[in-house]
Structure 1
Amino acid sequence: MAGLATTLNTANTGLQAQQAALNVTSHNVANADTVGYTRERAALQANGASAIGQDGPFGAQVGNGVTVSSIQRIRDVFLDYQVRAATSVKGTDETKDSYMTQIQSIMNEPSGTGLSSVIDTFYTNWQTLSKDPQSSNSRTLVAQQTKTLTDTLNDMYNKLQKLQTDSQTSLQNTVSDINNKLNQVDKLNQQIMDLKSAGTEPNDLMDQRDLLVDQLSEDFNLKSSPGNLESITLTAGDNLTAGSTLVNPTDSSSENRLAYISGIDKQADGSYNITYYKNGATSDANSKCTINATGLSDDQVKQLQENRVLWANSDGVAVDSSNNPIGTAPNYTTGSVTYTSTSAPLQLFTPSDGVLTGTTQVQQNIDKYTDDLNKLAKSIALSVNAIEEQSSTAEAAGADTTNDFFVDKNGGNENTITAGNITINTAILNDPSKIVASATATSGTTDGTRALAVAQSQNTLLNVQDITTSTTRSDLIGTGGLVLNSTTGVSAIANSSTGTTTGNYYSTTIDVLGEDAQKASKDLTNQTTIINSLTQTRASVSSVSIDEEMTNMIQFQHAYAANAKIISTVDSLLDVVVNGLMK
């Protein structure tokens, strides 16, 4: 009886183990298309053996069946690390490629309707005017083409600014999404630890957590470290500050989050009011905080404008280099910091890779190409104004005209001209006869020497690359000044030995843009190949294979049937024994 009961129990454990294995197979098949799901396997383990015969525990041994020791996730931690590292790099490349394509579209070069063509037509019309200076039609063409030129520059400038605003909005949304995902990882961590301590395998929750970590790795490079009870700790992959722990399973109060800078406004005293939102929650007025920063250099202001993401504590309050919140408790809605040559109190979050990094680099590119446009616009404006007024300084005493040809449409003087505000003087646009085409501004003159000088300035070598927001007409003309042509009686700008023509300067800008865009596209293609290979390798380990699961199902089915047959056989033997004793 005891022997048959042991056999019956052994077969019963086999039934239960195969049933569990079939359940796992069914779960795998059901989740074959579930994003982030990791295939599972029932780990079977033989039960301890029992002694038989008369020799006690040192005699013959017989097994007592099987048990399911655990339901294992089939996952390779090293492959996870490789995929996530590659995903961060792809996040950078993908973001840059997307925006560089849009910048190319804005620049629209090479094209018959691009800025290069518009500039060429602008100078050609001046050439035409020089041949027939008394023609009202030629003057009108110069005025209208100048308006076309300035409108083109304005449009390109505004589109670049719109693109930058869009990238900042994307950055803001990304920051908010990152914080939400970190909070979800934190919550899943606690649930996993609770279930694990209760003896349950929280595999599906671990899959959800790993999927979130995979998604976070696209935004920035991070490091995941295992802890007790299947918990994980997340930290930024590099550029660590005094507080860099994003998820801490044992102390959530020590965790860090990210804040988004929504505004950087210069004050009358030279300081800056920096507005940020806790956790990037710009829709919540209570999240708005303002920090007054003094001692900021132009480079530091630019860094804040381009990065816009701050390290913050677990409540979303911006922190200093010691991970202390900036401002006054309990709300920290206002605060003040002082920058020195060696300190930067506001801690920017600057990962080496990811969507955040790509967006920051894109904003740097937009700033660069906007600056190139500004330099081009200002160089054209100052050089044409100098020749038209025959003066190396704006509105100089004795100048033969008070009508600057190019002006700042917002009311500033020619020194404040940018690609965004450049326009033709309204007085000239409304009355093209005010264009000075001759050597003198005397009404009725018939030579077109001054118009010719403007046309020829297209080939003048100017220090366009050195133009800044404070550059004046005399700065651009330089030490060579205006050189008088004794034959025509018109002064023109002397060539600079270190200068370039406006056309060549813009051509170089377009060439650099093309190279940058090509590199971004090539980097993305290469990185996509790398990550596809790594993803396929990881999928071969962790993803569900229907063919494999069907094979396993057949194997478990046969094993289940064999165990059932043993139980049926033991039942027949027990019947023999019981019925035999009763006869």
Structure 2
Amino acid sequence: MGSNGGSFGGLSRALTALHAQQRGLDVTGQNIANVNTVGYSRQRAELQSIGGSVVPAIFAKSPIVGQGVSADQVTRIRDAFLESRAQNEGATAARLTEQSASLTEIESAFREPGSTGVQALLSKVWQAFGNVSNHPENIGARTALLESAKTLVGGLQTTRSSLDRQWGETRANLQTLVADANTMAGQVADLNKAILAATNAGMESNELADKRDVLVQELAASVGATSSRADDGSLTISVGGSVLVSKSSAFRLAVDGATSPDTVTAATAPRVLIVPGGSAVPLGGRAAAQVDALGPAAAQGTSILTFRGQLDTFAQDLATTVNTVHSAGYDLDGTSGNVLFASSGGPLTAGSISLGITDPRGVAAAKYAPAGVPLKASNDGHIADALTKLGQLPSGPDATYRSLIVSLGVQSSVAASNVTIQNVIVGQVDSARESVAGVNLDEEMTNMLQYQHAYSAAGRLVTAIDEMLDTVINRMGLVGR
């Protein structure tokens, strides 16, 4: 018989059994220890039987049934399809969440509904015009009108300023996000290098692969990155079809484009480039929502400038509508009316709108200025009354502003609903991933008992073989002495 065919060979097989069951217990302990570790994938010791020699000796053959068990390989349990889907769904959830947050912040800038919102301030202006129409000679009513108009102008400027500040903060956040993405890409490249080195040296790298997968998931949520696994175990990370990480090399992302909302055009809109190369990268995740928010104004969209443009249009329409009626009247001194709303400089916008009249006597409330008759004696408030009715026009300033707010509210509501739906999908994907890669304590306890009993059985095998050897060595051949 071969060298492993006798009792001593049995000890060798029992030793492999002890080692294998111990390895299984070690892996089970590692799983239990990391049951709450984020990104950890459960591991499994792969037990494989060691067969006997398949090459016969000269004029002989080996009757050995096997040489024990091997547990050299520890498998990391992962489902590549679920990982890929988790990246895609996570990126979508991150983009929708960022989009919803941006729209919510835009709503906050408009402060609707509320006593400080433009709608409430506009209503107070129409009421003030009504008081002037009833008492055109009253300086107090005229002063109150100018104060209401001044408050409305301040409200428009505040809203415009809030939108501009949100644009600047969003661009700064995009810059930070891209910097973080570059850091994570570099870490993935370093982990690729370490995993390749460990694999070539025949060492385990499961924990390194877990850390790498966590980074890839974060990159997916940040910039919409996707990954593909190479035969050597390294991951290639791509963003919008452009390679970001290849083996141990990482490219960089950079933010380019306008740094001020006033200089944004289709050609200068902020975008993210791949470096080197300088080509624009189609993004996903939070970065995609931020780039959309920074883009030029569009008829429909989530761009901050879309709503800023609509607010500017409202301010222009308000000024044009009010000034047209007001300029047709006469003030308290019988002089033709001046514009009530003007620009503090440049084109009139919600940010540059200002009062064109500061003297209460300059409010043009009268329709007529009879020769030789003091205007205050004529009790003429026709123009002020006409201005009051502007707030009731179906296509007047109020209707235009309400349409803007309703459109914003609908988009924000739809965005919030989309986030809720997407979170359900992400939850389902995460549950599927957890069922495959997550640590189940009940299962681990069962495995632990199996390895424990198998270890005990291997120990009994050693004892049995030891007793056999004791019989052969110490008890055989004593008869006849």
Deviations 1:108-157 (A, max 9, x none): 33345432122122122112212211011110111010011111111111
Q: Which amino acid aligns with 1:309?
A: V
Please say if 1:299 is aligned against 2:290. no
Cα drift, residue 367 of structure 1 = 1.0
- Within-5 A mapping of 1:390-409: 390=328, 403-409=338-344
Please say if 1:420 is aligned against 2:351. yes
- CA distance in 2: counterparts of 1:266 and 1:20, whole angstroms: 62
Q: 1:504/1:51 Cα in 2 relative to 1: closer, same or farther (>3 Å)?
A: closer
Cα drift, residue 172 of structure 1 = 1.3
Q: Which has the larger radius of gyration?
A: 2
- CA distance in 1: counterparts of 2:116 and 2:225, whole angstroms: 46
Q: 1:441/1:196 Cα in 2 relative to 1: closer, same or farther (>3 Å)?
A: farther
Match of 2:389 among 456, 459, 469: 456
Cα drift, residue 402 of structure 1 = 8.1
Cα drift, residue 56 of structure 1 = 6.5
Please say if 1:200 is aligned against 2:203. yes
Please say if 1:118 is aligned against 2:121. yes
- CA distance in 1: counterparts of 2:428 and 2:92, whole angstroms: 14
Please say if 1:223 is aligned against 2:205. no
Q: Which amino acid aligns with 2:319?
A: A
Match of 1:532 among 406, 413, 427: 427
Q: 1:266/1:53 Cα in 2 relative to 1: closer, same or farther (>3 Å)?
A: closer
Query: 31-40 or 569-578: which moved more?
Result: 569-578
Q: 1:578/1:59 Cα in 2 relative to 1: closer, same or farther (>3 Å)?
A: closer
Please say if 1:561 is aligned against 2:464. no
Q: Which amino acid aligns with 1:65?
A: G
Deviations 1:203-261 (A, max 9, x none): 1101110110111111233331211321111112x3x4xxx1111116x3xx5321123
Secondary structure of the corresponding residue to residue 246 of structure 1: strand
Q: 1:70/1:266 Cα in 2 relative to 1: closer, same or farther (>3 Å)?
A: closer
Map of 2:297 onto structure 1: none
RMSD: 2.7
Q: Which amino acid aligns with 2:82?
A: L
Please say if 1:71 is aligned against 2:74. yes
Please say if 1:27 is aligned against 2:30. yes
Judge conservation of contact 2:168–2:261 (CA < 8 Å) in 1.
no
Map of 2:363 onto structure 1: 435
- CA distance in 2: counterparts of 1:54 and 1:225, whole angstroms: 48
Q: 1:132/1:5 Cα in 2 relative to 1: closer, same or farther (>3 Å)?
A: same
Judge conservation of contact 1:38–1:207 (CA < 8 Å) in 2.
yes
Deviations 1:245-289 (A, max 9, x none): 111116x3xx5321123754799xxxx8xxxxxxxxxxxxxxxxx
Q: 1:157/1:52 Cα in 2 relative to 1: closer, same or farther (>3 Å)?
A: closer
Judge conservation of contact 1:87–1:217 (CA < 8 Å) in 2.
yes
Cα drift, residue 424 of structure 1 = 1.6
Judge conservation of contact 2:216–2:226 (CA < 8 Å) in 1.
no
- Within-5 A mapping of 1:425-574: 425=356, 428-429=357-358, 431-439=359-367, 444-446=374-376, 447-459=380-392, 500-574=395-469
Please say if 1:369 is aligned against 2:313. no
Query: 31-40 or 111-120: which moved more?
Result: 111-120
Secondary structure of the corresponding residue to residue 375 of structure 2: coil
Please say if 1:107 is aligned against 2:110. yes
- CA distance in 2: counterparts of 1:52 and 1:580, whole angstroms: 37
- CA distance in 1: counterparts of 2:477 and 2:56, whole angstroms: 27
Secondary structure of the corresponding residue to residue 40 of structure 2: coil
Cα drift, residue 401 of structure 1 = 5.1
Map of 1:380 onto structure 2: 318
Q: Which amino acid aligns with 1:25?
A: T
Map of 1:287 onto structure 2: none
Q: 1:368/1:580 Cα in 2 relative to 1: closer, same or farther (>3 Å)?
A: same
Deviations 1:74-133 (A, max 9, x none): 100001011111101101111112222222233233345432122122122112212211
Match of 2:43 among 37, 40, 64: 40
Judge conservation of contact 1:48–1:64 (CA < 8 Å) in 2.
yes
- CA distance in 2: counterparts of 1:211 and 1:51, whole angstroms: 45
Judge conservation of contact 1:38–1:74 (CA < 8 Å) in 2.
yes
Cα drift, residue 384 of structure 1 = 2.1
Cα drift, residue 53 of structure 1 = 12
Deviations 1:441-468 (A, max 9, x none): 789313122222322333557xxxxxxx
Deviations 1:477-510 (A, max 9, x none): xxxxxxxxxxxxxxxxxxxxxxx32111111111
Q: Which amino acid aligns with 1:381?
A: A
Moved over 4 A (4+): 50-59, 262-267, 399-403, 440-443
- Within-5 A mapping of 1:138-177: 138-177=141-180
Q: Which amino acid aligns with 1:419?
A: A
Q: How many residues align?
A: 459
Secondary structure of the corresponding residue to residue 62 of structure 1: coil
- CA distance in 2: counterparts of 1:266 and 1:62, whole angstroms: 79
Q: Identify the structure with the greater strand proportion.
A: 1
- CA distance in 1: counterparts of 2:418 and 2:55, whole angstroms: 70
Judge conservation of contact 1:52–1:61 (CA < 8 Å) in 2.
no
Q: Which amino acid aligns with 1:356?
A: A
Q: 1:266/1:406 Cα in 2 relative to 1: closer, same or farther (>3 Å)?
A: closer
Map of 1:285 onto structure 2: none
Map of 2:299 onto structure 1: none
Q: Which amino acid aligns with 2:313?
A: K
Secondary structure of the corresponding residue to residue 229 of structure 1: coil
- CA distance in 2: counterparts of 1:366 and 1:256, whole angstroms: 30
Judge conservation of contact 1:174–1:219 (CA < 8 Å) in 2.
yes
Map of 1:359 onto structure 2: 290
- CA distance in 1: counterparts of 2:180 and 2:400, whole angstroms: 41
Q: Which amino acid aligns with 1:358?
A: A
Q: 1:266/1:28 Cα in 2 relative to 1: closer, same or farther (>3 Å)?
A: closer
Judge conservation of contact 2:164–2:261 (CA < 8 Å) in 1.
no
- CA distance in 1: counterparts of 2:152 and 2:338, whole angstroms: 19
Map of 1:348 onto structure 2: 280
Judge conservation of contact 1:51–1:61 (CA < 8 Å) in 2.
no
Q: Which amino acid aligns with 1:142?
A: L
Aligned-pair identity (%): 31
- CA distance in 2: counterparts of 1:193 and 1:367, whole angstroms: 48
Cα drift, residue 563 of structure 1 = 0.4
Secondary structure of the corresponding residue to residue 130 of structure 1: helix
Please say if 1:260 is aligned against 2:255. yes
Judge conservation of contact 1:127–1:455 (CA < 8 Å) in 2.
yes
- CA distance in 2: counterparts of 1:197 and 1:266, whole angstroms: 52
Map of 1:334 onto structure 2: none
Judge conservation of contact 1:50–1:62 (CA < 8 Å) in 2.
no
Q: Which amino acid aligns with 2:362?
A: K
- CA distance in 1: counterparts of 2:461 and 2:55, whole angstroms: 20
Q: 1:135/1:400 Cα in 2 relative to 1: closer, same or farther (>3 Å)?
A: closer
Q: Which amino acid aligns with 1:457?
A: L
Cα drift, residue 372 of structure 1 = 1.1
